[in-house]
Structure 1
Amino acid sequence: MKKGVLLVNLGSPESPTPEDVKPYLSEFLMDERVIDVPLWARTLIVKGIILNTRPKASAEAYKKIWWDEGSPLIVISERLQKKIQQQTELPVALAMRYGSMTIKKGLQELVDKGVEDVFLMPLYPQFAMATTETILVLAEEIRKEHFPNLKISDLKAFYNREDYIDVLSNSIARHLENNPYEHLLFSYHGVPERHIRKRDITKSHCKIDKSCCITPSPAHEFCYRHQCLEVTRLVAEKLNLAPGTYSSSFQSRLGFDPWLQPPTDLTIERFGKQGVKKMAVVTPAFVSDCLETLEEIAMEGEEIFHEMGGKDFTTVPCLNDDAEFVALLSNWINDWAISETVTA
């Protein structure tokens, strides 16, 4: 069976205009794994409220970070795909969960090249309903409907793989080498607490307190909170970070339901108030810089920090198309190809 690879990232509007942001937000927020409430309630929230108020503000935010080549997330993902293609003989396609670069188009591109066996790689280190799961579910639906003879296997959450932690740690160390800081904040994209409980395969372990994420459990395989905190722990251990000089937080809250704590914006505000003058932020839930990293953290976060009396605010870029990250993903792809051949 001829093998191929499909990289999948989040997606982006076609342009930073309300006209293009609105359909993108609609597709994203109407996903039942993003806003996981009954259809009638999701429709009321998204189409009745959010889409009548948010597209204009979101478009303004996108304009702040938009590149001449287009959406940063798309441009970076395309660079990553091209560099990986240079390090593997397998055809490598790129798709997005939302927007015009659909998973169906990505699979079709591979099928047109004769691919029968696809390695699906969601570009998310941690598992979450609203990221990895929604990609895998949609890919399987598309396979059944359009490509019934196609075989698809997927890359599991790689948050705790030693080689990934090495690459992430090296990147952080390199970017902070000439940027001394008093506190390093690991900011992860937030999710509602109910998402954590819904994916607790034990139905009892996840209490979202100070103990459950550090107590061994099968629930950790699908626990986003545990996986985020574990990245922080492993990187801190790798970089020999002193206790008290680093912490974790969660950004991008939406709605009024309880979300993972503590919030990034309030955490940045708190450190500024406490007299921290030099702060750095890294965002390990993202592999590609995007609206949430370039605008929410690098712009809004810095503004909050300065307003609270902070002086130096440094953001560590995502892994993007970093040479070590490209080599890491390429190695995983080539290892998969070999293992599939041996198994077959």
Structure 2
Amino acid sequence: MKKGVLLVNLGSPESPEPKDVKKYLGEFLMDERVIDVPLWARTLIVKGIVLNTRPKASAAAYKKIWWEEGSPLIVLSEQLQDKVQENVDFPVALAMRYGSMSIKKGLQELVDKGVDEIFLVPLYPQFAMATTETILVLAEELRTEFFPNVTIDSLPAFYNNPEYIGVLSDSIARHLEGKTYEHLLFSYHGVPERHIRKRDITKSHCTIDGSCCATPSPAHEFCYRHQCLEVTRLVAEKLGFEDGTYSSSFQSRLGFDQWLLPYTDRTIERLGKEGVKSMAIVTPAFVSDCLETLEEIAMEGEEIFQEMGGQGYTTIPCLNTDAPWVNLLSKWINNWATSETVSA
């Protein structure tokens, strides 16, 4: 069998123009694992409300961070693909869950090169319905319908892989070197609380009451909240942070449902109100910088902090194409090719 790799990230509009943003948001938000309500309700919310109000504002946000080469997420993902390809001896393709760089196109690219054994790599450290799961489900549907002779393996969530924690910790330490900060905030992409309960394989553990994520349980295999908080704990332990000098929060909520707490924007506001004059923020739910990190965190976050009296605001980049991250990802891929364990 000929092996190949498919890296998969979230996706991006074709341009920062409202019409392209609207098309992208329509595909993204109509995913039943993103807005997990009945089709009639999802259609009403997305097509009746969101797509008539949000594209213009989202397009303005995209324009703030758009690079000359294109969408930062796409550009950085393509650079990651190129660098990984240099380290492995079989084809490496790139796809996005949403947008024109579809998973079907990525699979087809590999099949056209003679590949019939594919290692699917969702570029998310933590498991979530709206990220890893939707990629895996769609890939299997496409395989069944269009590529029945292909086998697909996938990289498990790697949030607690010691080597990943080492790479992430070293990156954080490097970017904080010489910087003055009183508090480090770990900001993760938010999800509705119901997503956590839906993926609780025990049907009883995930009470989201402040203790469940710290209590050992089989539910943690698919618990996004636990996996985020575990990244914070492991990095803090690795870097020797003192209690009270760091915390976790969740960003990018949508609608009126209860999402994971605390919210990032309100946490930044609170820190400023409490007299914190300098802070740093890192976004370990992403491996590549994108709208949520470059605009929501780096721009909006700093504006909130300064309005509350804060002064020094340091944004730590995602791993992007850092050599240690490229080397680690390449190692996992090569381990898969030789049937070795690829994650903790």
Relative to the length of structure 1, the TM-score reads 0.98
Counterpart check, 1:136 vs 2:142: no
In 2, Cα distance between the equivalents of 1:76 and 1:67? 11
Partner of 1:73: 73
Residue deviations 1:17-75, cap 9 Å, x none? Answer: 00100010000000000000000000000000000010000000000000000000000
Secondary structure of 2:313's match? strand
Map 1:1-344 to 2 at 5 A: 1-339=1-339
Secondary structure of 1:87's match? coil
Task: State the 1:90 CA deviation.
Answer: 1.5
User: RMSD of aligned C-alpha atoms?
Assistant: 0.8
Task: State the 1:8 CA deviation.
Answer: 0.0
Q: Supply the AA of the counterpart residue of 1:58.
A: S
Q: Supply the AA of the counterpart residue of 1:257.
A: D
Q: Supply the AA of the counterpart residue of 1:227.
A: Q
Task: State the 1:180 CA deviation.
Answer: 1.8
Secondary structure of 2:259's match? coil
In 2, Cα distance between the equivalents of 1:255 and 1:20? 22
In 1, Cα distance between the equivalents of 2:257 and 2:57? 22
In 1, Cα distance between the equivalents of 2:107 and 2:136? 13
Task: State the 1:98 CA deviation.
Answer: 0.2
Structure 1's unaligned 5+ residue stretches are none
Secondary structure of 2:338's match? helix
Q: Supply the AA of the counterpart residue of 1:224.
A: Y
In 2, Cα distance between the equivalents of 1:169 and 1:182? 18
Residue deviations 1:266-305, cap 9 Å, x none? Answer: 0000000001011000000000000000000000000000
In 1, Cα distance between the equivalents of 2:219 and 2:212? 10
Q: Supply the AA of the counterpart residue of 2:134.
A: T
Identity of aligned residues (%): 81
Task: State the 1:183 CA deviation.
Answer: 0.1
Residue deviations 1:117-170, cap 9 Å, x none? Answer: 000000000000000000000000100110001000000000000000000000
Secondary structure of 1:339's match? coil
Task: State the 1:202 CA deviation.
Answer: 0.2
In 2, Cα distance between the equivalents of 1:91 and 1:120? 12
Q: Supply the AA of the counterpart residue of 1:38.
A: P
Structure 2's unaligned 5+ residue stretches are none
In 1, Cα distance between the equivalents of 2:311 and 2:119? 45
Residue deviations 1:83-117, cap 9 Å, x none? Answer: 00000101100000000000000000100110010
User: How many pairs does the alignment contain?
Assistant: 341
In 2, Cα distance between the equivalents of 1:209 and 1:229? 14
Q: Supply the AA of the counterpart residue of 2:2.
A: K
Runs of 4 or more above 6 Å deviation: none
Q: Supply the AA of the counterpart residue of 1:77.
A: S
Secondary structure of 2:22's match? helix
Task: State the 1:326 CA deviation.
Answer: 0.2
